[in-house]
Amino acid sequence: MDYFNAPGRNHLFVPGPVNIPDQIIRAMNRNNEDYRSPAIPAMTKTLLEDVKKIFKTITGIPFLIPTTGTGAWESALTNTLSPGDRIVSFLIGQFSLLWIDQQQRLKFNVDVVESEWGQGAKLDVLESKIASDTSHTIKAICIVHNETATGVTNDLAKVRQILDSYRHPALLIVDGVSSICALDFRMDEWGVDVAITGSQKALSLPTGIGIVVAGPRAIEASKHAKSLRVFFDWKDYLKFYQLGTYWPYTPSIHLLYGLRAALDLIFEEGLENVIARHSRLGKATRLAVEAWGLKNCTQKEEWYSDTVTAVLVPAYIDSTEIVRRAWKRYNLSLGLGLNKVAGKVFRIGHLGNLNELQLLGCLTGVEMILKDVGYPVKLGSGVAAASAYLQDTIPMIPSRI
């Protein structure tokens, strides 16, 4: 039942699916049960309440849909928009590209604002579009908080500020797949109308829950949106929320228990501590990249991502070979460069329930691989830079002091 087995533990540093902590694996190690018994609603109630905390929302309503991030995107769009609606969407990498492809196939009128891959969303372009849209033809702004393909984090507070300064009513729909629960995300404060994430990212679960949280304006929009939908329809969920049974169709009981364990772990560590840990891991990774003399695909510090770092390799190296070698020799799983940056970048995912020594182990592997493929790296250099920073900043483990 294992394919291409290797000694020791796999070092999983793709930007999702990420490492699952033992507590979550244990929580999911169980038989099925009747989801119509009182047990599942009792647990679901706590999940819905607690999911709101990690989105930092009080007014939002969460939907825990048995789907993936792609399905969560679709749920966000079809519940709030009607075919033909004009939306502004930012293309800054492979995942925003896929989302835009979905938006177009769902027949929205997508106003694509493209950036060079490695740059953030062009918010100045947004501002000019909003400024000129006095008749409010723009129904929604779709933006990834963190583009997983390039390691670029967009400034959502700024987006909100633009919309507010023009009193523009467009919905703000945010893909937080590789951000929420790892980067600082403030749904209510930033006026995000719909935000989504996936279970296999910072929550550190298996794939299988697409989490969608809808704010009051999005819920209102859903009453009028004409996009056809059933599986993804919030209406059915809301009906069963009212009934107190919560599920319009069979949920994945295992993932619910897993989510319960995931949330418990996050609250035990403290959400702000989780975010600070990601900040340390991101910074440490970037210091290593710098020490290796390599460039971050992300072009400016303001866009640096604390969950994934896309590393540019020199033209004479094929980054795909780096990823392949990582897997074939070091049992290390890195992220490929995708589409426009295929062959040009490899990605280090540093999100989820991960600690500093795990990351440093990964970085030692990357150093050896770089040498393997002919890049003149000084072994130990990146690790030295990263650990110098970490040595100054890692806190004592609170429960162990």
| Residues in 274-293 that interact with a second copy by CB under 8 A | 274, 277
Q: How far apart are CA 359 and CA 137, in angstroms?
A: 46
Q: For residue 152, how many other CB atoms are within 10 A of its CB? A: 30
Contact string 97-126 vs a second copy (x = CB under 8 A): ----xx--xxx-------------------
> From its phi and psi, is residue 286 left (phi > 0), alpha (psi between -120 and 50) or beta?
alpha
| Region binding a second copy by CB under 8 A among candidate stretches 134-142, 179-187, 213-221, 392-400 | 392-400
Residue 10 contacts a second copy per CB under 8 A: yes
**Considering beta carbons, is residue 7 or 376 the nearer one to a second copy?**
7
Q: What is the dihedral of CA 292, 294, 300, 306, to 10 degrees?
A: -60
Contact string 146-165 vs a second copy (x = CB under 8 A): --------------------
Beta-carbon contacts of 214 under 8 Å, excluding residues fewer than 6 positions away, are: 60, 61, 63, 76, 79, 80, 193, 194, 222, 234
Residue 176 contacts a second copy per CB under 8 A: no
289: Cα separation from own chain's centroid: 22
Report the residue from 90, 292, 330, 346 that binds a second copy according to the rule CB under 8 A.
Answer: 330
Burial of 172 (0-12, 13-18, 19+ CB in 10 A): buried
| Region binding a second copy by CB under 8 A among candidate stretches 138-146, 158-166, 294-302, 361-369 | 361-369
**Considering beta carbons, is residue 227 or 298 the nearer one to a second copy?**
227
- Supply 32's token pair: 């099925």
Least distance (Å) from a second copy to the CB of residue 4? 5
Bridge partners (DSSP) of residue 183 are 180
Least distance (Å) from a second copy to the CB of residue 206? 4
Please tell me the count of residues contacting a second copy according to CB under 8 A. Answer: 122
Q: How far apart are the first and last CA of the chain?
A: 41
**Considering beta carbons, is residue 99 or 117 the nearer one to a second copy?**
99
Least distance (Å) from a second copy to the CB of residue 98? 8
Least distance (Å) from a second copy to the CB of residue 360? 4
Question: Among residue numbers 55 through 94, which ones bind a second copy (CB under 8 A)?
Answer: 66-71, 73-74, 83
Question: 295-296 and 194-198: which strand pairing?
Answer: unpaired
Q: Is 347 annotated as a binding residue?
A: yes
Report the residue from 112, 238, 265, 275 that binds a second copy according to the rule CB under 8 A.
Answer: 265
Residue 257 contacts a second copy per CB under 8 A: yes
Residue 223 contacts a second copy per CB under 8 A: no
| Region binding a second copy by CB under 8 A among candidate stretches 3-11, 121-129, 180-188, 212-220 | 3-11
Report the residue from 58, 131, 157, 230 that binds a second copy according to the rule CB under 8 A.
Answer: 230
Least distance (Å) from a second copy to the CB of residue 305? 19
Least distance (Å) from a second copy to the CB of residue 259? 12
Least distance (Å) from a second copy to the CB of residue 314? 19
Bridge partners (DSSP) of residue 346 are 311
Tell me which amino acid residue 43 is.
Answer: M
| Region binding a second copy by CB under 8 A among candidate stretches 54-62, 185-193, 247-255, 297-305 | 247-255
Least distance (Å) from a second copy to the CB of residue 274? 8
Tell me which amino acid residue 345 is.
Answer: V
| Region binding a second copy by CB under 8 A among candidate stretches 50-58, 132-140, 184-192, 386-394 | 386-394
**Considering beta carbons, is residue 60 or 71 the nearer one to a second copy?**
71
Least distance (Å) from a second copy to the CB of residue 74? 5
Question: Among residue numbers 14 through 33, which ones bind a second copy (CB under 8 A)?
Answer: 14, 16-23, 25-33
- For the chain, give the number of residues: 401
Q: Annotated binding site for substrate, which residues?
A: 347
